[in-house]
Amino acid sequence: MSRLADLIEYPWITEKSSILQQGGKYIFRVRREATKNLVKQFVEGNFNVHVIKVNSMNISGKSKRVRLQPGYTNDWKKVIVTLKAGEKIDLT
């Protein structure tokens, strides 16, 4: 079970994600090795809810420049977890 806990980094809290939470969708930032099945197992096991759907997407790093030195931000992955109607997760 500790392997599952390591895959989820933290919930992604933004204005858009707050609006989606009202419809039963929650966004998490996860490690790149996380699969949809592992995320589903983690959310169902830790929050005692029923997951209907998991959508995942890879976010590419952006090019940045700091003091004339070019570089890139890290690539990362986020998932959108859709819960059964009427179920909620307390992320606070």
Q: Give the chain's domains with CATH numbers.
A: 2-83 (3.30.70.330)
Q: How confident is the model at residue 37 (pLDDT cuts 50, 70, 90)?
A: very high
Q: What are the CA-CA distances from residue 65 to residues 61, 68, 73, 76, 88 (Å)?
A: 13, 6, 10, 19, 41
Q: How confident is the model at residue 2 (pLDDT cuts 50, 70, 90)?
A: low
Mean pLDDT over residues 33-49, rounded?
A: 93
pLDDT score for 92: 74
- pTM, two decimals, is 0.86
